[in-house]
Structure 1
Amino acid sequence: MMLALILAAALSDAPLQDAALEARAQMLMREIRCVSCENEPISQSASEIAGDMRHLVRSQIQDGASDEQVRSWFAERYGEFVLFRPKASGGGAFLWTFPFVLLAWVGGALFLGARAKRRRNLKPLKADASTHETNDHENDI
């Protein structure tokens, strides 16, 4: 009985026979986040649920599912969080654009702050005494 459980556990995470299908499965496993481990792909996680998720990826690919269908299945079941690269629509669009908007806002604030500081530090030019002397001599002529 114990031997059967060990074999079942080993076979559940066994690679696919077709090398091309296994390569696709491995790629997808690196794109899907483990739901119990924080920021770790299921390809690297040792948790039990990650093993189940790897098995699901392989069985879906074996059944002929496309990469997008596998991603969609996991996103529907666990939410967009499970994907390391969320879709660029809806909430995913916010996740993709927020860092760039924040970077532009901080850059603009720094630029405007530096420009304002430069303007505060500028002092009006004072006329040199030598300039006044030559102008006084020119008036005498």
Structure 2
Amino acid sequence: MILLRGMFLSIAACALALTCMAQALEDPAEEARAQALMRELRCVACENEPISQSSASIAEDMRARVRTMVGEGASDDEVRDWFESRYGEFVLFRPTGKGLSGLLLWGAPFGLLIVGGLIAFGVARRRQAGASEVEPVAPEDV
């Protein structure tokens, strides 16, 4: 029984490898570029897994689309833009940071740091000003 399972898994692995090899581009430079792009694109069905490593059927379709576009002569930016327009900025492992979402993503931490510094400065000034305004009270006034 164990032998049969091992044989089945070996045959399945070989079939998968042959399928992947059959889809590869003929030009090694184009295939290397397609592989690099596949590592930059996130599988929309898997969490934080590039399409180059995912076994989901949508990832297979995405890999085929990358190879098709690279084979047709599309630039890397055109491929990224196509996937971003189709699936949103989530599909990119390195978001471009365009528009309002990019401004919030990159600007919010610095804005919060500045606001926190201003609050701390104001609190420190109030404490310092409050400490110098206190006059000692004579014992007979109490």
Range of TM-score over shorter length: 0.5 to 0.7
Q: How big is the shift at 1:17?
A: 3.3
TM-score by length of 1: 0.67
Q: 2:132 aligns to what SS in structure 1?
A: coil
Q: 1:33 aligned to 2:33? A: no
C-alpha separation in 2, matches of 1:12 and 1:60: 19
C-alpha separation in 1, matches of 2:30 and 2:47: 27
Q: Which residue of 1 aligns with 2:107?
A: 101
Unaligned runs of 5+ in 2: 1-10, 135-142
Q: 1:82 aligned to 2:88? A: no
Give % identity: 47
In structure 1, what residue type is equivalent to 2:35? Q
> For the pair shown, which has the larger CA radius of gyration, 1 or 2?
1
Unaligned runs of 5+ in 1: 127-141
Cα-Cα RMSD: 2.6
Q: Which residue of 2 aligns with 1:132?
A: none
Q: 1:75 aligns to what SS in structure 2?
A: helix
Structure 1, residues 17-73: CA drift from partner, whole Å, max 9, x if none? 322112211121122121111232212222121122112211221222222222233
In structure 2, what residue type is equivalent to 1:69? E
Q: How big is the shift at 1:121?
A: 2.2
TM-score by length of 2: 0.67
Change (3 A) 1:74 1:100: closer
